[in-house]
Amino acid sequence: MESQVELDGPVGTSAGSPYDLTHDVAGLKTLMVNVYFIGEPGPGNPWVLVDAGLPGYTGQIKKKAERLFGVGTQPDAIVLTHGHFDHTGSLKSLLKIWNVPVYAHKLELPYLTGKSSYPPPDPAIGGGFMSYSSFIFPIGPDDFGDRVSAIPDNGLLPELPGWRVIHTPGHAPGHVSLFRDSDRTLIVGDAFVTTNQNSAVAVAQQKKEIHGPPAYFTCDWEAARQSVQKLVALNPRAVGTGHGVAVSGLDLELGLSRLSHNFDELSIPSEGRYVRQAAVTDESGIRDMPAPTSYTVAKAIGWGMLAGILLVALWPSESSDD
């Protein structure tokens, strides 16, 4: 069963949107996934983009950047928490207008340089439309060539003074989170999320709940558990996730404590492709994969849901006959 801790009350930061963390960490939702802008707002000020959202959001990302940092601005760098399609969708088009370095963990590079596809999603777990339809999600490989470089092993980037990049695998082999010690601000990508990403209804409503990583794309549950524990130990004060609104304060503290202490019960499905055996990966990509479980049934449900949505969308209304 997916972890779920409902949160009440405002985020409580000085931010102007539910996806902002602090005065110098702004968030933008691209349909169902967030990107972040790290930098003091002001014309000409340096900044870094974290993740690149879904395809088709280049204009909105650029517009938000110019609203924060001035017309014609470009980031000093782009940092990817991981390379899943919903976090890199607008990257190619952004790199056509911004000549900037892109950083990812070395274990993500095979999926970003054309060497390997990702471990496929498991639509049989998680429940809800997003899970059941996950078999249609692209898994690459993408090829950004030499535009992408490995994050240094010490986790420090010259473009991000005061921040450190922390390896938090499980949802993806080279998944990373970003942490600023001075005020304990944390960006976690999909190491955990603040909405039930398995459910299209929860995604649409952006109901604030702390969850483990999206189940259908998590390929190593033991690593995912350890990553959550690592992040909880940082005692963050404000957190931005890849899916869902920002969280802070007591709601964050209590929610993360519950998630950490009950991760197996709340987050790990009872059945699933990667539950008993993780995907084996290395710096060249996939090395070994467990066999899929219940894939046919889940796929049939997913196609049925997609067909139902399409039927409702195309069904003629009474007014069309007038």
SS (H, E, C) the chain: CCCCEECCCCCCCCCCCCCCCECCEEEEEECCEEEEEECCCCCCCCCEEECCCCCCCHHHHHHHHHHHHCCCCCCCEEECCCCCHHHHCCHHHHHHHCCCCEEECCCCHHHHECCCCCCCCCCCCCCCHHHHCHHHCCCCCCECHHHEEECCCCCCCCCCCCEEEEECCCCCCCCEEEEECCCCEEECCCCCECCCCCCHHHHHHCCCEEECCCHHHCCCHHHHHHHHHHHHCCCCCEEECCCCCCEEHHHHHHHHHHHHHCHHHHHCCCCCCCCCCCCEEECCEEEECCCCCCHHHHHHHHHHHHHHHHHHHHCCCHHHHC
Name the average pLDDT for the chain. Answer: 86
- 235 or 10: whose pLDDT is higher? 235
**CATH code for the structural domain at 5-315:** 3.60.15.10
Mean pLDDT of the region 118-134: 80
Q: pTM for this one? A: 0.86
User: pLDDT for 176-206, tens place per residue?
Assistant: 999 999 999 999 999 999 975 555 545 555 5
Q: What are the sequence ranges of the domains in the chain?
A: 5-315
Contact assessment for residue 39 and residue 48, using Cβ atoms and an 8 Å cutoff: yes
User: pLDDT for 165-177, tens place per residue?
Assistant: 999 999 999 999 9
Q: Is 58 left (phi over 0), alpha (psi -120 to 50) or beta?
A: alpha
Least confident of 121-130, 162-171, 253-262: 121-130
User: pLDDT for 271-286, tens place per residue?
Assistant: 889 999 999 999 999 9
Mean pLDDT of the region 46-54: 98
- What's the confidence (pLDDT) of residue 18? 94
Residue type, 265: E
